[in-house]
Amino acid sequence: MTNHSKTHSALDELLQKLSEKRAVIGIVGLGYVGQPLALRYTEIGYRVIGFDLDAEKVQELNSGYSSIEHIDDARIAEAGRNGFEATTDFSRIAETDGIMLCVPTPLNKYREPDLSFVTDTCDQIADHLRSGQVVALESTTYPGTTKEEVLPRLERNGLKVGEDIFAVYSPEREDPANPEFTTNTIPKVVGGHTDACLKAGIALYEHAIDSLVPVSSTETAEMTKLLENIHRAVNIGLVNEMKIVADRMGIDIFEVIDAAATKPFGFTPYYPGPGLGGHCIPIDPFYLTWKAREYGINTRFIELAGEVNTAMPEYVFGKLATSLNERCKAVRGSKIMVLGIAYKKNVDDMRESPSVTLMELIRDNGGELCYSDPHVPEFPTMREHFFELSSVALTPEVLAEQDAVVLATNHDAFDYDLIKKHAKLLIDTRGKYRTSENHIVRA
């Protein structure tokens, strides 16, 4: 059989399986990206196998329970009744036809890309791959990752990408707890290593996602994801710097932004805060800056925005320390409550949360620290941060006994009138309080 006919044989069979929903979908990494994908594919009639190294998470999902707050347990249970199952047995990759890799891509301690989750996963599945499968990497990464790191591993045992097996890059675009956008309503970018790979990628996603955006290569798709998040990081860095300038001038930056946003063209409002959090915006710019150095390019603009955003927790801490000092108090020995420790409002996601850095600054400077977050009842196990703390209920008595309360994440569940009434000193990093009162300090 010629390579051309072999390609068509493997591809045609895969396309037919995906079209008729006879294909088995494998989701590797059952976190904030993998779980919604697994639910979506199960709900539209595919059989789905979820893969994860975390045996406890696998057991939870197979029992009809998700530890992710915004994912309804009833949907997990219903998916289980419709054939979804989770496993730690990666040999079962052989049973699947479409494989999506939804694993973390963090930074290491040197702020360089850590692709170990991607490469280790590819190494794990390589021995179980077979002809007629499509593998899609969804993890955010630098341009060239699919071609340089994924493809050699997929071809390790003699399979040829584009002929026997098909590789695509399709970045995740999840926005947890945003009711306006769901997995299927967010347009999905898809880039293939070859034309045949792109056809396989489109077939993999077209029934699950309402709108697909095919691009010419995996590198283009990888760069697209970086641009999306660098766009936000740079604009948030700009407005964070503007906040510092406005504060020094005695101007309310939130009033300025709201006024500027009335312009019906040429302006998009971004809002300052205590720093950047989540698994994308604080991390993705460094993936591009690192890769750009390989081409002799210094991405000064992007790196400067990163520096501004990274410095925000220290700026907030400085405002806290100064405000306590004005009240004849030091941080050391003061009772300080942080309100909201998730990285954004109304979620339980702690990844890269600036609140954690702020908490460490308070603790390391001798503050008696507590926190309140209805979405994070216990401080979770994190790779680089450790607190033995539980969320404290917000009562008038608890608020009144604090020397300072820092609003770091503006969850809708907080009673803001209660907080304002009973806090002695309130550091507002989110612009929630717009009136000028002696005990409220904008940060």
Query: In CATH terms, are 3-217 and 311-442 the same topology?
Result: yes
Instruction: Say if residue 4's pLDDT is above 70.
Output: no
Q: Out of 350-354, 374-378, 404-408, 413-417, which region has the weakest mean confidence (pLDDT)?
A: 350-354
Taking CA 347 as the corner, what is the angle to CA 440 and CA 274, rounded to the nearest 5 degrees? 35
Are 144 and 169 in contact by the 8 Å Cβ rule? The answer is no
Predicted local distance difference test score (pLDDT) of residue 324 = 98
Which CATH number does 3-217 carry?
A: 3.40.50.720
Rg (CA), the chain: 24
Instruction: Say if residue 174's pLDDT is above 90.
Output: no
280 is catalytic: yes
Q: What value does the mean pLDDT of the chain take?
A: 94
Between CA 208 and CA 84 the distance in angstroms is 16
Predicted local distance difference test score (pLDDT) of residue 108 = 81
Q: Which one is predicted more confidently, 266 or 174?
A: 266
Percent of all residues in the chain with a pLDDT value above 90, rounded to a whole number: 86
Between CA 429 and CA 276 the distance in angstroms is 12
73-92: pLDDT as tens digits: 999 999 999 999 999 999 99
Question: Average pLDDT of 398-407?
Answer: 98
Predicted local distance difference test score (pLDDT) of residue 352 = 85
Cα distances (angstroms) measured from residue 21 to each of 43, 94, 164: 12, 17, 20
Question: Average pLDDT of 306-323?
Answer: 95
Predicted local distance difference test score (pLDDT) of residue 7 = 60
What's the CATH architecture for 311-442?
3-Layer(aba) Sandwich (3.40)
- Reading the block at residue 50, the tokens are 């979820």
Instruction: Say if residue 297's pLDDT is above 60.
Output: yes
Task: Determine how β-strand 188-192 pairs with β-strand 166-169.
Answer: antiparallel
Catalytic residue among 197, 280, 328, 370: 280
64-73: pLDDT as tens digits: 999 998 899 9
Instruction: Say if residue 278's pLDDT is above 70.
Output: no
Q: Out of 188-192, 297-301, 357-361, which region has the weakest mean confidence (pLDDT)?
A: 297-301
Question: Average pLDDT of 197-219?
Answer: 98
Q: Out of 33-42, 158-167, 277-286, 415-424, which region has the weakest mean confidence (pLDDT)?
A: 277-286
Predicted local distance difference test score (pLDDT) of residue 381 = 84
226-275: pLDDT as tens digits: 999 999 999 999 999 999 999 999 999 999 999 999 999 999 999 999 99
**Three-state DSSP class for 168?**
strand
* Structural domain spans, the chain: 3-217, 311-442
420-436: pLDDT as tens digits: 999 999 999 999 998 87
Cα distances (angstroms) measured from residue 210 to each of 39, 197, 206: 15, 20, 7
Predicted local distance difference test score (pLDDT) of residue 434 = 87
Between CA 441 and CA 443 the distance in angstroms is 6
Phi, psi of 161 (to 5 degrees): -70, 130
Question: Average pLDDT of 104-124?
Answer: 91
Between CA 269 and CA 248 the distance in angstroms is 21
Question: Which single residue is written with the structure tokens 């029934």?
Answer: 207
Instruction: Say if residue 176's pLDDT is above 80.
Output: no
Predicted local distance difference test score (pLDDT) of residue 215 = 98
Q: pLDDT band at residue 402, thresholds of 50, 70 and 90?
A: very high
Predicted local distance difference test score (pLDDT) of residue 6 = 58
